[in-house]
Structure 1
Amino acid sequence: MKSCLIVDDSSVVRKVARRILEDMDFIVDEAEDGQEAFDKCRQEMPDAILLDWQMPIMNGIEFLKLLRGYVGGERPRVVYCVTENDVGQIALALKAGASDYMMKPFDRDILEAKFAEAAQLQAN
């Protein structure tokens, strides 16, 4: 089964995303910040990651750079979430190795579209 790590300091965002991703048959884990997420990735690398950009301890860009430099860290599909249309943040994330991005607040259709590719890769 495919797995997804949701990395966001908002418990509400994690809960909403978890419900949608579990409906897509993902096994879901959660982290509140980039450091907790990286520790989880070192234990078991997920197939996909939903990554917030603003978090305490380690933000999304710092996590992304660390992940992509780690053995096996090039594999997960990483969807980077931003809360405003900040082209600079999106460009930084894509340069650091994000696979895609999406704006918050998101809805079921947007999240499903962003993770459909990861779901298909695992189905094959």
Structure 2
Amino acid sequence: MSEGRVLLVEDNARNLKLARDVLEYAGFLVVAVTTAEDALDVVHDASPDVVLMDLQLPGIDGHTALARLRSDPRTAGVPVVAVSALAMVADRERALAAGFDGYIEKPIDVRAFPGQVRSHVRGQADP
């Protein structure tokens, strides 16, 4: 049984591989892309239960991608979690104020990461 379907948006190859490997080992189905543009192209076919979005991406950044996901009725309800190396409290607050459903700091804690993601999977998060 799958833990859920994750759309992982990460432009750093090492970070992408680590996150994907950890999530797949934990039982998640992962679709990984390296740009926000690619994420917007595949999100409908991928039908993710959660989107993990790097904030600093080439081209469209994570905040702009979030706005586009929220403006589309087909993806407006999909949880989108910011994943960022920006570790200041103000960075977290800014992301949450922008409408992200959560914030995970990089580098990820490989032990905690699956649980952090699981807590945001659509239909499994606490009300």
TM over 0.5: yes
- Pairs aligned (count): 122
CA contact (8 A) 1:50 1:78 kept: yes
Q: What is the percentage of aligned positions where both structures have the same residue?
A: 27
- Pairing partner for 1:121 from 113, 119, 124: 124
Partner of 1:50: 52
Which residues of structure 1 form unaligned runs of 5+?
none
Which residues of structure 2 form unaligned runs of 5+?
none
Q: Distance in 1 between matches of 2:75 and 2:36?
A: 14
TM-score, with length taken from structure 1: 0.85
Alignment of 1:90-101 (within 5 A): 90-101=92-103
Cα deviation digits, residues 61-117 of structure 1 (max 9, x gap): 011111111123233222211213233432332123211101111121231221122
The root-mean-square deviation of aligned C-alpha atoms, in Å, is 2.1
Cα deviation digits, residues 22-56 of structure 1 (max 9, x gap): 12211111111111111111333311111111010
Alignment of 1:10-89 (within 5 A): 10-89=12-91
Partner of 1:8: 10
Q: Distance in 1 between matches of 2:48 and 2:54?
A: 16
